[in-house]
């Protein structure tokens, strides 16, 4: 999907799941709706259920579902279902950070140690290259800092064999940063792009240090409330999903479905704890790219990928389509959930789609879906 190397994920790869198959498609203004590639994934028993919501530049809205939200009851996926949005959280965190820059409460070229709590600042300053990392480099994943999710112990406990025993454990940002700093950096700051969840964990701490409020509180005040994103929340350490919601599934082997709906999302924190809905994600990206959340200079900076060789901006990445169009957005992957939102640069034409498993969609499936949505 993205034009650069695959992004490290807040998930493990999953095998096939058994499920019933249903399908429905509705449109806001009528017209022929092509069969979604997501329906094929359900038919092939790759995922239990899938949903897709799009709006084109003329205001035509399409919503389609396939499969089930709950393999036990057979309930279908609903448009208002809440789900874990994973790393789409990063787009919201980047938006809040750039709003603070627009208000001159920080400069993106400031060393980040000047905007962190003293203990974290000292720990980072004592790490190799740490004192030279800037806010901009965190936003663009060019800090070189090791991603705490790549730590073997963390990966085992949150994604692997230790998940059952550790799924409800609370993690503090300080602890997760220490996990990251126990490893050497990937590269000196600013020298190359390497996706790291540690970057956005630190940005969440920057927001608190600059504003005196948590990143969740600032996101609610600056993004969620103004846009009336009624299905979006930051659960903190709450393990359950708000209603209505379906179930989230992972698998350790063919045909073996594991319900992973309940988990403590503090392991993801500012890098991926957000819960949302497809309508909310569309509304957020439409407002963001349409200029309703950032001044023009900050929005241009968000879409500037020169520091990463075209891979990533600030909380968003570009996807270049075969019809010579480029769309912008982010994906999110966490135990039992995969979602992606992509939109044209003006935010007028966009699509959000999700599956209730932590399986990254086959590249051909996503390519066909996006070609069908934006090119055909």
Measure the CA–CA gap between 333 and 88, rounded to whole angstroms: 8
User: 83-84 and 249-253 as β-strands: parallel, antiparallel, unpaired?
Assistant: unpaired
Cβ-based neighbour number of residue 32 at 10 Å: 5
CB neighbourhood size of 80 (10 A): 13
Nearest to 292 by CA among 228, 355, 223: 223
Tokens standing for residue 64: 């389609």
Dist. CA 94–CA 99, nearest whole Å: 9
Active-site pick, 36, 54, 87, 266: 87
CB neighbour list of residue 34: distance below 8 Å, 6 or more residues apart? 372, 376
Decide if 24 is catalytic. Answer: no
Give the DSSP letter string of 96-159. Answer: HHHHHHHTTS--TTSBGGGGS-HHHHHHHHTSTTGGG-BHHHHHTT-S-PPPGGGSHHHHHHHH
Cis peptide before 87 (omega within 30 of 0): no
Mind telling me the catalytic residues?
Answer: 87
């Amino acid at each position: 999907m993205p034009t650069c190397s695959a992004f490290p994920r807040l998930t493990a790869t999953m095998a096939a799941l058994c499920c019933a198959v249903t399908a429905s498609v509705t449109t806001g203004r009528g017209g022929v709706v092509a069969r979604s590639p997501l329906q094929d994934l359900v038919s092939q028993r790759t995922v239990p259920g899938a949903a897709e919501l799009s709006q084109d530049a003329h205001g035509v809205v399409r919503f389609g579902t396939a499969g089930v939200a709950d393999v036990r009851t057979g309930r279908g996926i609903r448009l208002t279902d809440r789900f874990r949005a994973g790393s789409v959280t990063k787009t919201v965190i980047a938006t809040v950070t750039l709003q603070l820059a627009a208000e001159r409460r920080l400069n993106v070229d400031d060393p980040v140690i000047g905007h962190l709590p003293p203990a974290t600042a000292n720990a980072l300053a004592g790490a190799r290259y740490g004192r030279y990392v800037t806010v901009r480099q965190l936003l663009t994943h060019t800090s070189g800092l090791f991603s705490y999710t790549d730590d073997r112990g963390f990966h085992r406990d949150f994604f692997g064999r230790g998940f059952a025993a550790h799924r409800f454990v609370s993690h503090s940002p300080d602890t997760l940063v220490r996990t990251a700093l126990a490893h050497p950096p990937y590269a000196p700051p600013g020298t190359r792009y390497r996706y790291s969840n540690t970057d956005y964990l630190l940005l969440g701490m920057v927001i608190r240090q600059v504003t005196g409020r948590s990143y969740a509180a600032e996101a609610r005040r600056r993004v969620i409330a103004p846009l009336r994103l009624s299905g979006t929340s930051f659960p903190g350490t709450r393990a359950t999903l708000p209603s209505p919601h379906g179930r989230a599934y992972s698998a350790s082997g063919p045909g073996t479905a594991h319900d992973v709906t309940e988990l403590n999302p503090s392991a993801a924190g500012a890098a991926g704890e957000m819960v949302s809905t497809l309508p909310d994600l569309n509304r957020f990206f439409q407002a963001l790219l349409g200029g309703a959340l950032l001044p023009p200079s900050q929005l241009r900076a968000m879409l500037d990928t020169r520091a990463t060789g075209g891979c990533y901006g600030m909380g968003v990445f570009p996807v270049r389509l075969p019809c010579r169009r480029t769309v912008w957005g982010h994906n999110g992957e966490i135990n039992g959930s995969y979602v992606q939102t992509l939109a044209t640069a003006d935010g007028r034409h966009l699509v959000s789609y999700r599956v209730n498993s932590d399986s990254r969609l086959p590249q051909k499936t996503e390519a066909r879906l996006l070609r069908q949505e934006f090119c055909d």
